[in-house]
Amino acid sequence: MADLSTCPPLTRASVIEAHGLIRPFVHRTPVLTNRTIDDFASTPRTAEELKDTPWELTEASKDAPAKPILRLWFKCENLQRIGAFKARGAFHAIERLKREPGWADDGGLSKGVVTHSSGNHAQALALAAQTAGMPAHIVMPHISAAPKVAATRGYGAHVIFSGSTAPERLAVADKVVAETGARMVPPYDHPDIILGQGTAGLELQEQVVEAKTAGVASTATRAAQPTAFLRAPTSVAPSTPNPGLDAIMTPCGGGGLLAGTVLSAQGTGIRVFGAEPSLDGADDCTRGLAQGKRIETVSSLTIADGLRTPVGVHNWAVLTGDTPESQGQGVHGLYAVGEDQIRAALRLLLERMKLVVEPSSAVPLAVALYNEEFRRRVEKEAGPGGWDLGIVLSGGNVSLESFGTLFPS
């Protein structure tokens, strides 16, 4: 990575600058809507649906099902290069490294980069390095899925296998750095990665405003527009400035995407939330925020395999508002869901929107549909007008065989 001393400040302006650097290399992925899923999200769950969940209704609680109004906007990073948002951070890391004073003069281009990853970051860095004409050394656990190994090699990377634990992977990566002089590019815990990932949130904000602007003229005009341009809130007249999104939610694993999205929304009034799986303590950020301390280890076999990592140090600082530029403003909340709820959201995306996404991508939708704590928050804070909620579908790298195990007949 570029030296920390040369990194831009963690601000929205730096996300905008990062977007300018990577724009030639990444897709401006589409933003889609779906009226059926909106209706489902805006319909209160029944007592039967809430049974055997953390939000089961009891006489003692005297709670009623939440009644939020939600209009969902899906940022389709499953259609990004390499099939995931990770391309954004990888390309930004490479472009920043190329601009580091003295890096090229010291043979940096021929030495290349190294990372440790079993999935999307491995492929993203391999592609970014190949595009820049430099070698990439990717340390992958020996249990990595064969298609992911093949894809990483297909982008020209040199794959080195390691054990499956984080210490084992790091030890091999450190050895490669010592032998090659290549620069380490971590999967998520670095300012350049955070700023690159934040460009997805920046685009989402712009695209929703564009869609609303195109759709406010009349009902007839909206009906003739593509899916992403169909909806304008009934409370907004054509002459009223377009408010865009009320909130954005992203998955949270290492926290690069979520932290970057927080930065992308600075000063806009847009709330930013994170979504995690709850199985076996995979909700480390949710628990860490409640305890006021970052949780450093996670050991979970959640189906949302991209979210099995603990939040990084730099990412945690952004999420808690503990950076020099944040003025105490961080993420607005984290919410978790179970495996059955993730599967249900994944099925909706596949069957209703015809979108192939990996389980990690479905976690924010699962929160919007099933987490009563979040839904009550929307009902309370939004009132009868509801919220326009942006959801980042983080990736689509899932095999047909995996779908078979997720949805056995």
Q: 145: which DSSP letter?
A: -
Going through 102-215 in order, the beta strands assigned E by DSSP cover: 113-116, 136-141, 158-162, 183-184
Catalytic-residue membership of 164 = no
Active site residue 118: yes
Q: Which amino acid is at 333?
A: G
**Cα–Cα distance between 49 and 57 in angstroms, integer?**
10
Annotated catalytic residue: which of 14, 75, 117, 118? 118
Cβ contact 307:253 at 8 Å:
yes
Q: Which of 14, 75, 86, 148 is catalytic?
A: 86
CB contact at 8 A, 234 and 57: no
DSSP annotation of 9: P
- Distance (Å, whole) CA 148 – CA 372: 36
Strand, helix or coil at 100?
A: coil
How many whole angstroms separate alpha carbon 284 and alpha carbon 298? 7
CA distance 277 to 284: 9
Q: What is the SS3 assignment for 337?
A: strand
List, by residue number, the catalytic residues.
86, 118
